[in-house]
């Protein structure tokens, strides 16, 4: 069955891949991009492949953009836009920490509230939220991002039960490390501010991100969750990440400091 799906963060990474694949499968895709150059480029790329999709400017932090998007009539909101900022918790500037929450939590929740109310009135709809493995386990030196995704988990668990009686589904997708460039730039981001003050702990140990997975798997999983009649509430990929999450969540009950 064809659906109308709004995808945030469609200018790159998972959002871009999902936009292309859903368009290929005949859905009405509304791909939201943060900046105008992304809008232009994505329109051209879709056209080059003979695909039909509506590409809009949707900077989730921009109230004007959000309000315009909230005028759309959609079946599925794919709350996918997000940012990652690394750094030890005792060093990361509060302005940086707040910026992560503004994008990953507050702006996304505003969209979920707006579309969620419309879905309740209609008695149907689905909110698919890109969380992260980082929302389920500890992530040293990436605590800001992990904290934002833990917040997403809390929001979605409440939202799911609150909206279920009205026919609105809420599900999460929890990617591990995939080769989209997101993790690479997120790790590098702390170098922007690291030298701008006295530091009392060591810099994140330099390491190559050479164990990331092919994003094709994650894109296919996201499409499956969006299309499924009754998807799982939580979907973790890759399988090794799900095993790690289950193990770490069990271990924390016996952890001593």
Closest CA to 13 of 196, 230, 212: 212
Which listed residue (145, 166, 178, 233) is catalytic? 145
Residue corresponding to tokens 């193990």: 247
Closest CA to 182 of 111, 250, 253, 82: 82
Residue 107 and residue 113: Cα distance in Å, rounded?
10
Residue 96 and residue 102: Cα distance in Å, rounded?
10
Is the bond leading into 238 cis (omega within 30 degrees of zero)?
yes
CA dihedral (215, 216, 221, 227) positive or negative: positive
Q: 118: exposed, middle or buried (C-beta count within 10 Å: 0-12, 13-18, 19+)?
A: middle
Terminal alpha carbon distance of the chain: 52
Residue 112 and residue 131: Cα distance in Å, rounded?
14
Residues 99/83, Cβ–Cβ less than 8 Å: yes
Active site residue 166: no
- Phi then psi for residue 15, to 5 deg, are -60, -40
What 252-255 contacts at long range (C-beta under 8 Å, 24+ apart), as own/partner pairs, is: 252/138
Residue 85 and residue 243: Cα distance in Å, rounded?
25
What residues act catalytically?
145
């Amino acid at each position: 069955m064809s659906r109308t799906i709004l995808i945030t963060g469609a200018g790159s990474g998972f959002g871009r891949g999902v936009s292309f694949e859903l368009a290929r499968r005949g859905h009405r895709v509304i791909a939201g991009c943060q900046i105008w150059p992304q809008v232009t480029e994505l329109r051209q790329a879709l056209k080059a492949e003979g695909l039909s999709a509506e590409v809009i400017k949707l900077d989730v932090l921009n109230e004007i953009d959000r309000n315009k998007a909230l005028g759309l009539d959609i079946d599925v909101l794919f709350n996918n836009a997000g940012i990652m900022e690394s750094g030890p918790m005792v060093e990361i500037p509060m302005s940086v920490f707040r910026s992560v929450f503004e994008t990953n939590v507050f702006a996304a929740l505003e969209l979920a509230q707006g579309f969620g109310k419309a879905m309740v009135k209609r008695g149907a709809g689905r909110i698919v939220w890109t969380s992260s493995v980082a929302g389920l386990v500890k992530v040293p030196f990436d605590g800001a991002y992990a904290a934002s995704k833990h917040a997403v988990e809390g929001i979605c668990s409440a939202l799911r039960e609150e909206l279920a009686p009205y026919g609105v589904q809420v599900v999460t997708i929890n990617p591990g490390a995939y080769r989209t460039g997101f993790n690479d730039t997120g790790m590098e981001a702390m170098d922007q501010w690291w030298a701008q003050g006295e530091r009392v702990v060591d810099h994140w140990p330099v390491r190559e991100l050479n164990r990331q997975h092919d994003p094709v798997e994650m894109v296919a999983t996201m499409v499956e969750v969006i299309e499924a009649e009754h998807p799982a509430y939580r979907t973790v990929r890759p399988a090794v990440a799900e095993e790690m999450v289950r193990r770490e969540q069990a271990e924390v009950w016996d952890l001593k400091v």
